Amino acid sequence: MKELNMTIDVILKVDTMELPENCIIILSQRKAKVAERPAFAETKIVTHQG
């Protein structure tokens, strides 16, 4: 996953024209990351709780 830049005020600014056509943005612990996903596949996001 590629990390996205955020401002000092923790504001996320994204130019959607620069992102891959099929992608997800994950926000966690004041960090943002983008991951490209396959065009014709099922994607599952698994989180750990605890």
Q: What percent of the chain has pLDDT over 70?
A: 98
> How many Å apart are CA 37 and CA 50, to the nearest integer?
27
- Amino acid code (one letter) for 48: H
> Under a CB-based contact definition with an 8 Å cutoff, are residues 6 and 12 in contact?
yes
pLDDT at residue 50, as a whole number = 56
pLDDT category at 2 given cuts 50, 70, 90 is confident
- In this predicted structure, the answer to whether residue 28 has a pLDDT above a threshold of 60 is yes
18 Rama class: left (phi>0) / alpha (psi -120 to 50) / beta: alpha
pTM: 0.67
Residue 33 has pLDDT above 70, yes or no: yes
How many other C-beta atoms are found inside a 10 Å radius of the C-beta of residue 34? 16
Mean pLDDT of 10-26: 87
* Closest CA relative to residue 32, chosen from 23, 41, 22: 23
